[in-house]
Amino acid sequence: MNRQTLATRAGSVAARAARTWVRCGLMLLMVLGLSLPVSAEGGEPPGVIAVKAGRVHTMTGDAIDHGVVIIRDGVIEVVGRDVEIPAGAEVIELPDGVITPGLIDACCMVDFGIPEGATGWLHGAKPYSFWRALSEIQPEAPDAPSISVLDREFPAGPVGAVEKLTAGQPAHATWADQAYEVTPHRRVVDSLNLLSNDFARLLRGGVTMAYISPDSANVIGGRGAVVKTAGPLGDRVVCAAGAVKATMGGDPIRRGLPNYLPPMYGPTPNFHTRRPTTRMGVDWVFRKAFFDAAKAQAGEKPGGADAPPPPALPVLQQVLEGRVPLRIQARMQHDIFSALRLAEEFKLNFILEEGTEAYRCLPQLQAAGVPVVFGPLYMTASGYRGRTDEARRPRLTTPRQLADAGIAFALTAQELRDEEGLVRQAMVAVRHGLDEEEALRSITTAPAAMLGLSGKVGELSPGAAADLVVWSGEPLSATSRPKLVVVGGEVVYELE
C-alpha cells in the first residue's frame, strides 16, 4: 500500500527549500536558461551516496551487472562494476534491483484531466469559495457528479463517471490562453501547479523529468517548460521558456467548444469559439503569423485578417531565426504533411509531436530529418483524444518503424499515467517489435537530446545529474516497478 505523495515530499522539502525558492525567480527570468538542473546548494548537500544493484543500464554503453553508482553532491561521480565506495558514503544496496536513468517524458501534460479533489478545471487551483458558503444547499456527494454531465457523457452511470471525469477531461477544457489564436508569448510554466499530485504519480512511474507541452487549443500556443518531478520546489523548473508549440489539424478547431455536440448546441460565440473552424483556417493562421513576423522584422507594419498580437511577434522572429525551437503537433497523415509543407515555406526546423500516423509519412519525415515525439500508443484512444476523429488509425508498430527508418524519436505518454504511463508505453512498443535497448533509449537519452540536455540527464555517466530509478526487476517487465527514485542526489521516493 503506497502512500508516498508529492504533498508530503513538498511539505518536508518546504522547510529546506524556504530560501532556495527565492532563487527560482531568477531562474525563471533566464529565457532558455538551461542551467544544470542540480545545484550543490539546493537544501543541505546530500553528501555521497552509493547505489548498488544487480544491473545498471547506463544508456551510454552496455548494461553493467552488479554495478555501483556513486553520487556526490547531486552529481554522478562514478559508474562501474567494481568501484571502491568512498568512506562515509551512504550505501543503498538492492541486489535484485535494476538501475536506469530517471525517465524523461518529452511531451507531458500535468493535471490534464480534472485533478483529484479539484472542483474546477483550473489545473488544481481549487475554485475560489469566498461566498460559496451561502449559495450551496447540500454538500456535493463525491460519487454523484452533476446529472447533466452524466447524461451527456457517461451512459455507464455515476459509477463509471468519476473514473472517466478524472481520466479524460471534456474536450473544451484547456489551460491554453483563448484570447488569441497565436500566443507564443505565453508560458505554460505560469499555468503549472508545481504542487500538483500529478508529479507524484509521474515520479512513482519512474519519470524524473518532464517537458510540459502547452495545450493544443491554439494554432500557435505558448512555450513549454522543462521541470523535474521532485526535489526542492526552487530547483524544479529547469527551463521556463522552451519550444513554441504549434498545432495542425482539428484540435485548434475543436478545443474550446465541446466537439461531441453538434455546432448549434455548442456555447454561444465567445473567446472559446472564436477559433478557425477548418484546416484551411488553421494553416492560414500559422502562415499569417510567421509572415507577419517576417514582415515586422523587415520593418514593415503587419496587418490584415488574423494578425497575431504584437507581443507575439518578437518570439516568432526568434523562431524564424532558429533561436527558439518549434514543436508542431499533428496526428493524421495530411496534418503531418501540412506541418512539413509550412515548415518548408518558412525554412523552419521543428519537432513533430504525437504523430499518430507517422507510419504513413516515414519517407517524408526521413527526408526532412524531423525528430518525432511519438505517443501515446493505444489501440482505442481514450479520454478526449478518443472524441477527436484523428485517432482512428493508430499503429502499435510505429515505434519500430520509426526506428527502422532511422528517424530520431522519443516516446511519450502525454497525459496518461500508471498502466499507460511512460515506461508502459515503451513496454508496448517492445511488444510490437521495438528493440529493448532502443525502447529504453527512447525514454531516456533520446528525449534528453531533444531537450538539449544530452549528457546532463537521461544517462548514467560521470557529470550527469544524479536522477535515477531502481526497479524491482527489468524496467520493461510487466511485473516490475520502481523501488527507489533518486532526484538530484536525494532519495525522493521509496517503496515501503
Residues 356-395 that bind other proteins (CB under 8 A): 359-360, 362, 377-383, 386, 392-395
Least Å from the CB of residue 88 to other proteins? 30
Of 122 and 320, which CB lies nearer to other proteins in the complex structure? 122
Residues between 172 and 191 with contacts to other proteins, criterion CB under 8 A? 175-179, 183, 185-188, 190-191
Residue 35 binds other proteins (CB under 8 A):
no
Of 334 and 481, which CB lies nearer to other proteins in the complex structure? 481
Least Å from the CB of residue 84 to other proteins? 35
Of 81 and 393, which CB lies nearer to other proteins in the complex structure? 393
Residue 114 binds other proteins (CB under 8 A):
no
Least Å from the CB of residue 334 to other proteins? 13
Residues between 441 and 470 with contacts to other proteins, criterion CB under 8 A? none
Residues between 45 and 74 with contacts to other proteins, criterion CB under 8 A? none
Residues whose CB is less than 8 angstroms from the CB of residue 123 and which lie 6 or more positions away in sequence, other chains included: 110, 111, 115, 175, 191, 192, 193, 196
Least Å from the CB of residue 190 to other proteins? 4
Residue 40 binds other proteins (CB under 8 A):
no
Residues whose CB is less than 8 angstroms from the CB of residue 38 and which lie 6 or more positions away in sequence, other chains included: 74, 75, 231, 235, 465, 466, 488, 489
The piece of 123-131, 288-296, 316-324, 449-457 that touches other proteins (CB under 8 A) is 123-131
Residues whose CB is less than 8 angstroms from the CB of residue 400 and which lie 6 or more positions away in sequence, other chains included: 429, 432, 433, 434
The site string for other proteins over 124-153 (x = CB under 8 A, - otherwise) reads xxxxxxxxxxx-xxxxxxxxx--x--x---
The piece of 51-59, 119-127, 406-414, 454-462 that touches other proteins (CB under 8 A) is 119-127
Residues between 314 and 353 with contacts to other proteins, criterion CB under 8 A? none
The site string for other proteins over 287-316 (x = CB under 8 A, - otherwise) reads ------------------------x-----
The piece of 20-28, 64-72, 293-301, 324-332 that touches other proteins (CB under 8 A) is 20-28
Beta bridge partners of 69: 51, 79
* Whether the Cβ atoms of residue 444 and residue 62 lie closer than 8 Å to each other: no
Residue 253 binds other proteins (CB under 8 A):
no
Least Å from the CB of residue 194 to other proteins? 6
Q: Which position has the grid cell 448549434?
A: 264
Of 58 and 414, which CB lies nearer to other proteins in the complex structure? 414
Bridge-based pairing of strands 207-212 and 225-228 is antiparallel
Of 69 and 391, which CB lies nearer to other proteins in the complex structure? 391
Residue 406 binds other proteins (CB under 8 A):
no
Residues between 193 and 232 with contacts to other proteins, criterion CB under 8 A? 193-197, 200-201, 222
Least Å from the CB of residue 401 to other proteins? 5
Give the dihedral sign, CA 243/244/248/250: positive
The piece of 56-64, 94-102, 288-296, 417-425 that touches other proteins (CB under 8 A) is 417-425
How many residues bind other proteins (CB under 8 A)? The answer is 116
Residue 254 binds other proteins (CB under 8 A):
no
Residue 280 binds other proteins (CB under 8 A):
no
